[in-house]
Amino acid sequence: MIRLAAMAACTQLYGAPGWCAKRAGHFALGLLLAALLVIPGWAAEPGWSAYGNDAGGQRYSAATQITPDNVAKLKVAWTFSTGDLATRPDALKHASFEDTPILAEGRLYVCSPFNVVSALDPGTGKRLWSFDPRLNVGMRYPNDFICRGVAFARQAKDGACAARIFLNTADRRLIALDAASGKLCANFGKNGIVAIPPGPEHDGKWGRIHTTSAPVVSHGLVIVGSSIDDNQKVDELRGTVHAFDAKTGALRWAFDPLGDEKPPFRGGSANVWAPMSVDEARGLVFLPVSSASPDFYGALRKGDGAYANSVVALDILTGKVKWAFQTTHHDVWDYDIPAQPTLGTVKFHGQDAPAVLQATKQGLLFTINRDTGKPIIPVEERPVPQTTDVKEPLSPTQPFPVAPKPLAPSKIDSKDAYGLTFWDRGKCKAAIDAAKHDGLYTPPSKQGTIVYPFTGGGTNWGGIAFDEKTQTVYVNTTNAMHLVTLIPAKNVRSEKEKFRDVEISPNEGAPYGMRREVMFSPLGLPCNPPPWGMLHAIDMTTGKIKWEVPLGTTEDLAWGTQYLLGNIGVPNMGGPIATAGGLVFIGATMDNYIRAFDAKSGRELWKGRLPAGGQATPMTYVWKGRQYIVIAAGGHSKLGTKRGDTVIAFALPD
């Protein structure tokens, strides 16, 4: 048993099963000695070694130094500038700084929106090395320039590139860097670089496919997804996931979520743009698969779309499907799975079960058995709206977990229209009255359909934080509406000329293009009532809500309105983290703050001012006895928050 445990631990640390197998006996002896010698104070300080801290993405830290009693004393400990403000000021208009740094073997690793990786001293923020992949910033991508993180893995005990940083770039390169020096690993691919199929596809200066989330590394493999614009073509690129040998860069397997779907199915995408997670012991990788293309018209892709809109568990060594669970059938709302599947043990109704927790844009939280793919908390197939003014083979039902309750509203009546004055409220009322809306899953139409929650969530890529000890999930949501209108193909060009500041996509090959716009009042506030952003705590033993609080203010949207509207909650991008110190930290909001909440009550205890928008998930670690809270503050192209290039660390006074 000790030898098996040693083998598993070695593989997790070094990502090299073959190397570990030969040394399992020595490693077992090391584990035994370590167990005998470890006493309080000798244990390693809490770190943050992967995008979600652990491979399963719990976003939970064992750090306890910062507590509800002292969190108000947090001060800026250090700041680091990526240099983008000085070197790429124009390109920053099309960038979002969504990075969550990682701490591995004494270095903090940061990825800028342009895939520039920097290694920092964890105590001072001083740059130790940097690597610039030299992206073509003249190229535009569907989600602009984004790097949510990098991955770390130790491949061998010592030597050049024994420990590696793996980086996905926007132009579809997988790069292996020596973690100690930042130099390219010459024995990986071609001088440290592998081209990810299908390569840097583009139309003119518009990229068709890129990568935004960090890869995952396990069992000697590096696994990468992709980000694809779902609304340009019916016959879009496929969202194939690729696994490469972590040592050599050789392709080991590829998985297409649409499989061998053939006519009468027409469509592409079903890509994996959000972060993946890994169960090391079970040898499984979990994919959050997006929707098939195009998003809002699916008559040419009959059926539910194979593994689109599904959590898919693959055998990590072969890429074969173990199980899949679909959260949206025949998606025509862009309700793809946007967040990392989070792994943990759930004690629902007193029964321990290995779970996958999956948050969705609809504001739903699915709790799935990690071994079987069956719901732990029951899921019901409920009838949904069917009427539309276009021919569309809709699914008659959609899956709804019985608990927790939906975390975002999905139904609105014109009498609920919001506004600060009779005039702007009247404009919102008229817009709601003019649109089609029968609640969640009302299909898109030529009339114009309200998609509520909008396609940014509910929950988005920030995902959840899970404290297994207290069985509490923490998750933030956005509350806003989209108006989606199907446009006859012959009218798409004229509509683009008419609505120059509105998103209009051609859906080339379909009889309809689409127009998508957030439903704002003339004063720029959402037409639905607040709160527009919320932070929730869910008791997973019962599925009930522990507490819910508004998240964020309008301070940096229109100064002074925060005094009029108060802590009303605002749209947000980014996620929470939880700590053993009893706190939940989150940035994400459209005001430039990072906040700390009491994990038990939801009371806001502290907020730290940021130099730019904090639309990123923070992280925390302890370094030489001091706990740091770190967040990227660089703003977000879609939310329009203040741009910058700063990573900022907070800590208690020395």
Top-confidence residue, 14 or 565 = 565
322 by DSSP, 3-state: which? strand
Q: Band of the pLDDT at 310, cuts 50, 70, 90?
A: very high
Strands 60-61 and 576-579, sheet pairing: parallel
Q: Band of the pLDDT at 312, cuts 50, 70, 90?
A: very high
Q: What one-character-per-residue DSSP string does 121-142 give?
A: -TTT--EEEEE-----TTSB-T
Q: What's the pLDDT at 84?
A: 96
Q: What's the pLDDT at 564?
A: 77
How many degrees, rounded to 5, is the angle at CA 561 between CA 559 and CA 566?
Answer: 125
Point out the residues that are catalytic.
334
**Cis ω on the peptide bond leading into residue 399 (within 30° of 0)?**
no
Q: What's the pLDDT at 3?
A: 47
Q: Please report the beta strands in 88-184, taking only residues with DSSP state E, as ranges in sequence order.
A: 95-96, 102-104, 107-111, 117-120, 127-131, 145-146, 151-154, 163-168, 173-178
User: pLDDT tens for residues 494-504?
Assistant: 999 988 889 99
CB 244 within 8 A of CB 174: yes
User: pLDDT tens for residues 166-217?
Assistant: 999 999 999 999 999 999 999 999 999 999 999 888 877 788 899 999 999 9
Lowest-confidence pick of 24-33, 257-266, 468-477, 541-550: 24-33
Q: Band of the pLDDT at 64, cuts 50, 70, 90?
A: very high
Q: Band of the pLDDT at 263, cuts 50, 70, 90?
A: low
User: pLDDT tens for residues 408-422?
Assistant: 999 999 999 999 999
How many degrees, rounded to 5, is the angle at CA 49 between CA 45 and CA 53?
Answer: 95
Per-residue pLDDT averaged across 501-526, rounded? 94
Q: What's the pLDDT at 563?
A: 74
Alpha-carbon separation of residue 227 from 218, 240, 300, 316, 431 (angstroms)? 22, 10, 22, 21, 32
Per-residue pLDDT averaged across 56-64, rounded? 98
Name the average pLDDT for the chain: 92
User: pLDDT tens for residues 220-260?
Assistant: 999 999 999 888 899 999 999 999 999 999 999 999 999 97
**Separation CA 540–CA 96 (nearest Å):** 33
Q: What's the pLDDT at 255?
A: 97
How far, in whole angstroms, is CA 281 from its chain's centroid? 24
Please say if the pLDDT value at position 392 is more than 70: yes
Per-residue pLDDT averaged across 102-123, rounded? 98
Strands 95-96 and 145-146, sheet pairing: parallel
Please say if the pLDDT value at position 13 is more than 50: no
CB 388 within 8 A of CB 380: no
Per-residue pLDDT averaged across 608-627, rounded? 98
Q: What's the pLDDT at 199?
A: 82
Q: What's the pLDDT at 17?
A: 46
User: pLDDT tens for residues 328-362?
Assistant: 999 999 999 999 999 999 999 999 999 999 999 99
Please state which architecture CATH assigns to domain 49-651: 8 Propeller (2.140)
Domain ranges of the chain: 1-40, 49-651
Per-residue pLDDT averaged across 298-327, rounded? 96
Lowest-confidence pick of 485-489, 523-527, 608-612: 523-527
